[in-house]
Amino acid sequence: MLSRLHKDWTPDRLIPDDSQIYCVPTSWAWARFQDVAIIASDLVNPKDHQDAIHLAPDNIEKGNGVLLPCKTVREDGVISPNHRFHAGQVIYSKIRPSLAKVTLARFDGLCSADMYPLDSLIDVHYLLFFILSDVFLDQAVKTDTRVAMPKINQAELNAIAVPVPPLAEQKRIVAKVDELMALCDRLEAQQQEQETRQTALARASLARFVDAPTPANLDFLFHRAFTVSPVELRKAILALAMQGKLLSQDSTDEPADVWLNRFSAVRRSKSLKSYGKIQASEIPCEIPLSWAWTRLGNIVLTSDSGWSPQCESEARSGNDWGVLKVSAVSWGVFRSDENKALPSGVEARPDCEVLPGDFLLSRANTEDLVARSVVVESTPPRLMMSDKIVRFTFPTDVEKRFINLANLSDAARDYYARNASGTSSSMKNIGREVMCNLPLPFPPLPEQRRIVAKVDQLMALVDQLETHLAESRTTATRLMDAIVTELTGRTATARMAAASATTTGAAAPVAPGTQWRCDKKKPQKSPWIQQNCT
């Protein structure tokens, strides 16, 4: 067959056995890419093809050959020369070969000069599958050492090794791959439907338990029909904590409204602003009788923010002064290493320095992270708040860690989402007035401390569960690899890489008694080569 692909083809152009990537049946041969496809460059002026369909690398999904919607040359505003291509050609993007962007053209048009139109000399679908395989990808990526814009040139592409079966077998392989891929699509759709239903069941069970945390409803959280994720468990624990359902109330605790009334008098004596009562429409859930709804600003003594001088791009060194980035307070724990060095010659502002015990909140960040808060358990000296970080101080008997939990709850996140300013989701702003008006469930002071301790205990258990699940997945992968190695003599990874070379002959029936060419020391011509290539 190969002798019919190129008129100047000779048997010595076959890849010798000692240079082959893996063993193939004796009826196959290893060839170079240039022996199975022709790079059909045909640069034309786009001005002469304004109504032609234009195909660019961005119009192809990576790794699966799916073609996305395309526009015309005119609509894309193409001005530089492009390749003309035709229906039936394979279009391969030469830039960033690791993305494996390739498709089979179903129409005529123009494609970017960063793509190769290919005329296939073997079954075109087999060629497409091969280019999508790991064996092709590994070779394409290895040839490139460019960093700024990885690409594969024509010489590198032409040198890639291709396993070539007889034409009839190529067609059988393509048919089998199509059949198996259709089965995979159906399985994937069923799996997605199952996961959707399981997620709905898990959320319904969590909602049921949060609404009524009884032993019977707790059993639903661990039903064998679905799995509640650690993320959802953490949310459920926080929701229960904010509704007073995590612990039983102690009748000897001083009611929250007694303390709030007493502290309100203290605030009036200091001429501090009073924030209005919570309206019924603002209350997201019921709370115990010993609790009270209040606003964040009504339990605050002082608030301030930092400053944002022009800083160095790198973090501060040693005990030099540094300015904290919002990422230092965005992830539930204080990250002191998220800072920028204060330039030499710029005088620091010690009043902005962060101290242990500070309650910090970001006023500007992405939609998901704006107004997130932390309590600083410990910190190295000489780190200052930026102007995007706000610090609140509370009376010493208020449990700041409870306020932090309340500020991270879903109810608080919903409040900030409704009141944030800014049109872009990548940068939202929360003013201090909005922060101070946040509705908070406020338990008796002793209960605040008990809730924090219980949440810490339960979150630690969830962390252990998450670690166990990750270890289980790793163990399952290793077990599968061991089983495959025992059965085939190769690891699952190696087996899958070899199989994906073209989704090889394993996808199509192999005749009994098929011989495999594996002798690296004594290359030999297969009967097929002798019959068809000499």
Quick: pLDDT tens for 163-183.
999 999 999 999 999 999 999
* Residue ending a domain, choose from 123, 150, 165: 165
Give residue 435's domain range. 277-444
Structural domain count of the chain:
2
Q: Residue 513: which pLDDT band, with cuts at 50, 70 and 90?
A: very low
Please give the backbone phi and psi of residue 407, each rounded to the nearest 5 degrees, phi first. Answer: -70, -20
> In this predicted structure, what is the pLDDT of residue 199?
65
Stretch 347-365: mean pLDDT: 96
Q: Does residue 141 sit within a domain?
A: yes
| pLDDT of 9 | 44
* 433 and 303 in a common domain: yes
As a whole number of angstroms, the distance between CA 469 and CA 166 comes to 47
At 202, the amino acid letter reads: A
Residue 222 is given by DSSP the state T
> What is the rounded average pLDDT of the residues 427-446?
96
Rounded mean pLDDT, 191-200: 76
Cα–Cα distance, 225 to 76 (Å, whole number): 50
The fraction of the chain above a pLDDT of 70, given in percent, is 81
Same domain for 160 and 39: yes
Answer yes or no: is pLDDT of 407 > 90. yes
* Same domain, residue pair 304 and 160: no
Based on the fold, state whether residues 440 and 299 are members of the same structural domain: yes
The reply to whether 469 falls in a domain is no
What pLDDT, in 10s, does the model give residues 108-156? 999 999 999 999 999 999 999 999 999 999 999 886 666 557 899 999 9
| Number of other residues whose CB lies within 10 A of the CB of residue 59 | 22
CB 320 within 8 A of CB 382: yes
Of the candidates 359, 356, 373, the one whose C-alpha atom is nearest the C-alpha of residue 430 is 373
User: pLDDT class for 384, splitting at 50, 70, 90?
Assistant: very high
Query: What pLDDT, in 10s, does the model give residues 224-280?
Result: 655 667 787 888 889 889 999 888 899 999 999 999 999 999 999 999 999 999 999
Q: Say if 507 falls within a structural domain.
A: no
501 domain residue, yes or no: no
- In the listed set 137, 165, 193, which residue is the last one of a domain according to the structure? 165
For residue 385, the tally of other CB atoms under 10 A from its CB is 25
What integer pLDDT is reported at residue 524 of this predicted model? 39
Enter the tokens of residue 458. Answer: 């339960």
Q: What is the pLDDT of residue 472?
A: 75
- Closest alpha carbon to 101 in 136, 146, 77, 51: 136
Task: Please check whether residues 12 and 161 belong to one and the same domain.
Answer: yes
CA distances from 514 to 26, 43, 45, 503, 511 (A): 7, 46, 52, 18, 6
pTM for this prediction? 0.56
Nearest CA to 10 out of 424, 372, 532 is that of 532
Average pLDDT of the chain is 85
For residue 375, tell me if it sits in a domain: yes
Q: What is the CATH number of the domain that holds 387?
A: 3.90.220.20
Residue found by looking up tokens 């890639």 in the block: 160
**What are the residues whose beta carbons fall under 8 Å from the beta carbon of 459, sequence distance 6 or more?**
234, 237
pLDDT tier for residue 212 given thresholds of 50, 70 and 90: confident
Instruction: Collapse the DSSP code of 280 into the 3-class scheme (helix H, G, I; strand E, B; otherwise coil) and give the result.
Output: helix
298-322 pLDDT tens trace: 999 999 999 999 999 899 999 999 9
Lowest mean pLDDT among 43-57, 214-228, 450-464: 214-228
Report how far residue 532's alpha carbon sits from residue 2's, in angstroms, rounded to the nearest whole number.
7
Identify the domain boundary among 444, 472, 502: 444
In this prediction, residues 186-215 reach a mean pLDDT of: 75
Domain membership flag for residue 463:
no
Do 295 and 437 belong together in one domain? Answer: yes
**Domain membership flag for residue 327:** yes
Would 419 be classed as within a structural domain? yes
Q: What is the pLDDT of residue 477?
A: 72
